[in-house]
Structure 1
Amino acid sequence: MISRRTLLRSAALTGAALVGARIPFARASLSYPTHPVRWVVPYAAGGATDVLSRLLCQRLSERLEQPFVVENKPGAGSNIGTQAVIASPPDGYTLLLTSTANAINASFDPQLPFDFAKGIAPVAGVARIPLVLVVNNDLPVQNLKEFIAYARANPNRLSIASSGIGTSLHLSGELFKAMAGVQFTHVPYRGSAPGLTDVMSGQIQGMFDNVTSSFELVRAGKLRALGVTTRERSAILPDVPPIADVLAGYETSSFYGVGAPHDTSRDIVDLLNREINAALADATIDRRVAELGAVALHGDAAAFGTMLAGETERWRKVVELSGQRKE
């Protein structure tokens, strides 16, 4: 029979061996990153996506002592960049700036060549941005109720711009149409800037746009803001009421976050999550996020995954209600 002393000694040696076996794994995870990390932005350079990405990448480079390099990879409504990341090795060296487009495309594009939910591991949220309905100053409406009344009295005489078919800007307008019982003509543009220009000139009567790119025009009196798409008012446009005050239950927004290829090590995901949250908590970055009209998103990877699933379901319902799908 084995003595109690021998059994205890054996157990102690086994425990030590197991602890020793874990040490190389822990060191391996702590050594990440050992070379530059690609941060894929699936949009052209410029705008809020670039500003947020470069701010975070600069801070991550400083804290983790390896370059985090922004790589713009636009095309196909963010699908080209997204697919490139999904196809990358799950080693933490290729990251994706995820966005509302990923949540929308899951149901809007029936020919999508990948499954975003299965292909991307959620890492961390970055920011949420309200949208705002802006109109030309000569349009004879001063508030949302008057706009709805005018649209009902003039069906299909209003033209509403967006940054492209299938974007959150486009579908926010389609949801508005369905809930308000109005009809207007959707005019897609290649980005927000040309659409806003035509709204100011009067060629187009209105537009749903991210507050990031339109709030300065509203403050300068070049556009009239009628309502924001979030339940709460935007800190950057505090005098503009939520559309939900008139259309109960109406709510949309744009969001950004970070994802990695599926099967990326949990240690790496958790490390990146902690560092991104730390960067967002930095006073300089927090102030810049607020200046963009955005609200920083904090939380662990699981919380961001839950948010992504919720946003995908929300936009699925909007796509179904609007009847809009990619041909």
Structure 2
Amino acid sequence: MQRRHLIRALGAAPLGLAFGPLRAQTVSRLLVGATPGGGTDIVARSLGHEMGPRMNRQFVIDNRPGAAGNIAAAAVAKAAPDGSTLLLSYTSHAINPTLYDKLPFDPVADFTPLAGIASLPGILVAHPSVPANNIRELIALAKARPGKLNIAIAGLGSANHLAGEVLKLDAGLKITSVPYKGTGPALQDVIAGQIELAIAGVASVQPQIRAGKVKALGVTSAQRLPEFPDVPAIAEAIPGFDFSAWYGLFGPAGMNPELAEQFSRAARESLNTPAMKERFKTEGLIAMGTGREEFGRFVKSEIQRWGRIVTATGARPE
């Protein structure tokens, strides 16, 4: 199913309406720190669509874009811990504590981690005219032409931006980073030959790869992707390189453990439905399905990991 068809199928209206007349359903707002139609929004709508019947709840998607997800996160941090307000967050939850000088919330203490939902690898792509066909050839080219190549950055401080900065740092490359207001404009300029390189999520770039408008040089995950078996992992040239983005479900701090477990179980069960698996395949997502304790440990480790990367690269927010 194409992304626009998926959005139309899930609808811009509250998700509970998809199940017909609602009777005595509890309503939960699922806040998303991104605009409608983007990857985070689609994951939230897909998740709410599957969780609703399992919990007899109406999940209403509440888009609160801005400040790299901080606006939505701040609202959930202040909400009552009764399950009426949840957060579908992404990698920025772990990046922002170091990226921003001060946050209006504590990314650990002010939240109840519920479930790890999915990871999203990025793909390093190039304009077809670039004389490199894989990550090793790109590294050799960049070293032969220091400062001559440019890479588009779709969002300063994003996971894909930091992945590109680590690539340059670890491989000792002089490649100029050029900020863009979103993945779409960045890819348009790569396709047009205005800029040589970009890192983007699988769903955003795979149509252009299939059409030959750009070529894939490497993936940011630790292993190659099943959808692109011929595209090497950047880790094959730079051992230990693994910079996938991720999505996770949070509630406010202080949630009743039994209620938190109900949300966690419903979310994890939703990932195993045929419909959800197909949606994730379309979006290039890899299901995580981690429970509350494991996801909580993961978030803490990610804050430390991304903190070191932000500090090492000197990245700053827009």
Same fold, judged at TM 0.5 (above): yes
Give yes or no for contact 1:123–1:301 (8 Å, CA) kept in 2.
Answer: yes
Distance in 1 between residues matched to 2:36 and 2:154, nearest whole Å: 15
Query: Where do 5+ consecutive residues of structure 2 fail to align?
Result: 1-23
Q: 102, 121, 124: which one pairs with 1:133?
A: 124
Letter in 2 for 1:148: I
Q: 1:156 offset after TM fit, Å?
A: 1.8
Contact 1:215 1:237 in 2 (8 A): no
- Please say if residues 169 and 208 of structure 1, whose CA atoms lie closer than 8 Å, have aligned partners that are also in contact: yes
Task: Please give the secondary structure, in 2, of the residue aligned with 1:216.
Answer: helix
Offset at 1:326? 4.1
What are the within-5 Å matches in structure 2 for residues 213-224 of structure 1? Answer: 213-224=204-215
Match of 2:6 in 1: none
Measure how far apart 1:163 and its partner are: 1.4
User: What is the 5 A alignment of 1:242-257?
Assistant: 242-257=233-248
Corresponding residue number in structure 1 for 2:84: 93
Secondary structure at 1:204 match in 2: coil
2:67 paired with 1:64: no
Equivalent position amino acid for 2:304 in 1 = E
Q: Does 1:151 align with 2:142?
A: yes
Aligned to 2:220: 229
Partner of 1:116, secondary structure, is: coil
Q: 1:204 aligns with which of 177, 189, 195?
A: 195
Give the TM-score normalised by the residue count of structure 2.
0.90
**8 Å CA contact retained: 2:166, 2:313:** yes
Give the Cα–Cα distance (whole angstroms) in 2 for the partners of residues 326 and 192 of structure 1: 16
Question: Is the 8 Å Cα contact of residues 26 and 56 (structure 2) preserved in structure 1?
Answer: no
Aligned letter for 2:181? R
- Please give the residue correspondences for 1:8-157 in structure 2 after superposition, counting only pairs within 5 Å: 35-157=26-148
Q: Which amino acid aligns with 2:153?
A: S
Deviation at 1:288, TM superposition (A): 1.5
SS in 1 for 2:191: helix
Residue 78 of structure 1 contacts residue 101 of structure 1 at CA under 8 Å; is this kept in 2?
Answer: yes
Cα deviation digits, residues 72-117 of structure 1 (max 9, x gap)? 1000111111111111111111000121011100111122222111
**Residue 154 of structure 2 is aligned to residue 163 of structure 1:** yes
Residue by residue over 1:2-57, the C-alpha shift from the partner in whole angstroms, topping out at 9 and shown as x without a partner, is: xxxxxxxxxxxxxxxxxxxxxxxxxxxxxxx9521000010011122122111111
Uncovered stretches (5+) of structure 1, i.e. residues with no partner: 1-32
Contact 1:215 1:236 in 2 (8 A): no
Which residue number in structure 2 is paired with residue 21 of structure 1?
A: none
Name the Cα RMSD after superposition: 1.4
For the pair shown, which has the larger CA radius of gyration, 1 or 2?
1
Equivalences, count: 295
Q: Any conservation in 2 of the 1:110–1:326 contact (CA below 8 Å)? A: no
Deviation by residue 1:127-178 (Cα, 9 ceiling, x = unmatched)? 0011110011111112212211111122222111121111111111110110
| 2:97 alignment partner, SS class | helix
**Rounded Cα–Cα distance in structure 1 between residues aligned with 2:227 and 2:292:** 28
Superposition deviation, residue 63 in structure 1: 2.0
The question of 1:303 aligning with 2:291 is answered no
Question: 4+ residue stretches of structure 1 with deviation over 4 A?
Answer: none
Give the AA of the match of 1:241. Answer: P
The structure richer in helix per residue is 1
Per the alignment, residue 268 of structure 2 pairs with 277
| Alpha-carbon separation, structure 2, partners of 1:104 and 1:151 | 28
Indicate if the aligned counterparts of 1:58 and 1:68 stay in contact, CA closer than 8 A.
yes
Shift of 1:291: 2.1
Equivalents in 2 of 1:235, 1:45: separation in Å? 28
Please point out which of 152, 166, 181 is paired with 1:175. 166
Most deviating of 313-322 and 93-102: 313-322
Query: Could you report, residue by residue, the CA deviation over 1:249-299 in whole angstroms, capped at 9, with x for unpaired residues?
Result: 211010001000011111111000111111111111112112211110113
Correspondence for 1:12: none
Distance 1:143 1:59 in 2: 39
Identity among equivalent pairs (%): 37
Distance in 1 (alpha carbons) for counterparts of 2:317 and 2:222:
28
> Structure 2: how far apart are the matches of 1:37 and 1:260?
11
Is the contact made by 2:26 and 2:58 (CA closer than 8 Å) also made in structure 1? yes
Aligned partners of 2:256, 2:89: CA distance in 1, in Å?
19
